[in-house]
Amino acid sequence: MLFRKLRAIFARDSDALARLAGLTPGGVRELIDRAEDAYDPRTMNLDGLVDALREKLGDTPLVQLVAQTIHYTLEPK
C-alpha cells in the first residue's frame, strides 16, 4: 500500500512531478523500485529513499510529504 501511495504522488502526470527540476519520472520510479525490491543489491530502506529525494530535490514540501507519508503508514496503530 505504501509503495502505491508513493507511485501516486510521483505519477507521470502528477502536478507535483511536473514542478520538480532535476528529477524525471523514470528516476523517481527507479528510486521507489530500489526501495521496494528486497532482491536488488542496491536496495535502500525507506529512510534512504527520503534521503535520496532530499539529495536530488532539497528539503522541499514534496519531500516532507513523502517522509510524513512513510512515517505515518509505518507508525504502529
pLDDT of residue 13: 79
Residue 14 has pLDDT above 80, yes or no: no
pLDDT tens digit sequence for 22-71: 677 778 888 888 888 878 777 778 888 899 888 888 888 888 988 998 88
Q: pTM of whole model > 0.85?
A: no
How many domains does the chain fold into? Answer: 1
Host domain of residue 21: 2-74
What pLDDT sits at residue 77?
64
Are the C-beta atoms of 19 and 13 separated by less than 8 Å? no
